[in-house]
A and B are shown apart, each in its own frame.
Chain A
Amino acid sequence: AQTVTQSQPEMSVQEAETVTLSCTYDTSESDYYLFWYKQPPSRQMILVIRQEAYKQQNATENRFSVNFQKAAKSFSLKISDSQLGDAAMYFCAYYGGATNKLIFGTGTLLAVQP
Chain B
Amino acid sequence: DVKVTQSSRYLVKRTGEKVFLECVQDMDHENMFWYRQDPGLGLRLIYFSYDVKMKEKGDIPEGYSVSREKKERFSLILESASTNQTSMYLCASRVAGRETQYFGPGTRLLVL
Contact = CB atoms under 8 A, between A and B. Distances in A.
Interface of A: 4, 6, 9, 33, 35, 37, 43-47, 50, 91, 95, 101-102, 104-107
Interface stretch (B17-25, B69-77, B78-86, B102-110): B102-110
A66 to B, nearest CB: 15
Interface of B: 33, 40-45, 48, 58, 90, 99-106
Contacts of B41: 106
Nearest to A6: B42
A40 B100 CA distance: 19
B89 to A, nearest CB: 12
Given A50-B100, A102-B33, A102-B43, 18 more contacts: A6-B42, A9-B40, A33-B99, A35-B100, A44-B104, A44-B105, A45-B103, A45-B106, A46-B103, A47-B100, A47-B102, A50-B99, A91-B42, A101-B45, A101-B48, A102-B45, A104-B43, A104-B44
